């Protein structure tokens, strides 16, 4: 036969109750504190925009780069308003948009080079056929 032991709440040691109370207060305080500013995300976004500027993406009037700048400004504003979670998200989106703008610009340049090579190859091929006809 098994004996059951019941502890009535009014008999709990006072120290355990105090410990639970302190733990609850600390947990609430930790949840209520403002997270630190997302300095790494902000600096990464600024760096990605600087790289896009160095590759002259702005010359191509990239709307994606413009969006990256707008999101970075919004992230900085969110930091001022103590909305750190929003600031982190906006900074990450800004970095991603700047990297996308750079990649799109490079892909466009690469496509232009590829098209020029195809055109040059076609001209050379025609010239070779012409020269082969003259020699016969």
Residue 57 lies in a domain: yes
Residue 126 lies in a domain: no
Residue 83 lies in a domain: yes
Residue 84 lies in a domain: yes
Residue 25 lies in a domain: no
Cβ-proximal residues to 62 (8 Å cutoff; 6+ apart), any chain: 52, 101, 104, 105
What is the three-class DSSP state of 8?
A: coil
- Does the pTM of the predicted model rise above 0.85? no
Work out the burial of residue 78: count CB atoms within 10 Å of its CB; fewer than 13 is exposed, 13-18 middle, 19 or more buried: buried
Number of domains the chain is built from: 1
| pLDDT score at 37 | 87
Per-residue pLDDT tens, the chain, 136 aa: give them: 566 665 555 555 665 566 566 767 666 666 656 788 889 999 999 999 999 988 877 666 588 999 999 999 999 999 999 999 999 999 999 999 999 999 988 898 899 899 999 999 999 998 888 888 766 5
Look up the domain containing 75 and give its range: 36-120
What's the chain's length in residues?
136
Residue 95 lies in a domain: yes
Residue 129 lies in a domain: no
Q: What is the CATH number of the domain that holds 80?
A: 1.20.1270
Residue 30 lies in a domain: no
The tokens for 90 are 């906006």
Opening angle at CA 122, ends 117 and 124, nearest 5? 95
């Amino acid at each position: 036969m098994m004996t059951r032991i019941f502890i009535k709440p009014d008999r709990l040691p006072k120290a355990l109750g105090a410990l639970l109370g302190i733990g609850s207060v600390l947990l609430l305080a930790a949840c209520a504190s403002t997270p630190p500013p997302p300095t790494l995300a902000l600096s990464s976004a600024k760096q990605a925009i600087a790289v896009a500027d160095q590759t002259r993406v702005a010359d191509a009037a990239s709307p994606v780069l413009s969006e990256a700048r707008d999101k970075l400004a919004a992230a900085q504003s969110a930091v001022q308003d103590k909305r750190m979670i929003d600031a982190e998200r906006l900074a990450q989106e800004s970095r991603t948009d700047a990297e996308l703008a750079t990649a799109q610009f490079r892909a466009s340049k690469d496509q232009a080079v590829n098209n020029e090579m195809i055109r040059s190859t076609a001209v050379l091929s025609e010239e070779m056929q012409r020269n082969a006809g003259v020699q016969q």
